[in-house]
């Protein structure tokens, strides 16, 4: 019985992820380079403030439908000569960081916890609980996909 218990897979929870985020000692700034040539900023560094103010960082917003398109956009931009990307939202803490985390998971093949740890070394971020749950779902999907590809 104890051998079986030792083999049990431990899954991350939103609370686990919030503990990682709580370990960040950085102060929030207007703009930070969080990955080579990828920046997260707030509305003050973006040009279209009116459109951004219409966005609501709702705990029920289905941001996950934007994970792949945003990751594709970031990836394509970074591949262009001299490519840099600013990912922004009103505070530069939740929505924008969630999209950058999705990019790191999809294109850089980082597990969610490792992606979080990398970002909090560069910027104070705090995706809301809903976004963390969506990222956990993405992490499970990507892990399952990688395991399936290894078997084939």
> What residues act catalytically?
89
Q: How many CA atoms, within 13 angstroms, populate the side-chain half-sphere of residue 114?
A: 9
Between CA 60 and CA 76 the distance in angstroms is: 29
Contact between 86 and 41 under an 8 Å Cβ cutoff? The reply is: yes
End-to-end CA distance of the chain: 32
């Amino acid at each position: 019985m104890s051998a079986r218990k030792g083999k049990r897979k431990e899954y991350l929870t939103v609370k686990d992820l919030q503990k990682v985020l709580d370990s960040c000692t950085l102060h929030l700034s207007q703009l930070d380079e969080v990955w080579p040539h990828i920046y997260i900023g707030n509305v003050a560094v973006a040009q279209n403030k009116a459109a951004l103010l219409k966005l609501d960082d709702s705990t029920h917003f289905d941001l996950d439908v934007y994970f792949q398109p945003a990751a594709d956009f970031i990836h394509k931009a970074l591949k262009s000569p001299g490519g840099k990307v600013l990912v922004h939202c009103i505070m530069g803490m939740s929505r924008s960081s969630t999209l950058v985390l999705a990019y790191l998971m999809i294109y850089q093949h980082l597990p969610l916890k490792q992606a979080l740890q990398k970002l909090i070394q560069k910027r104070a971020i705090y995706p809301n609980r809903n976004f963390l749950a969506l990222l956990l779902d993405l992490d499970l999907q990507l892990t399952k996909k990688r395991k399936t590809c290894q078997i084939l």
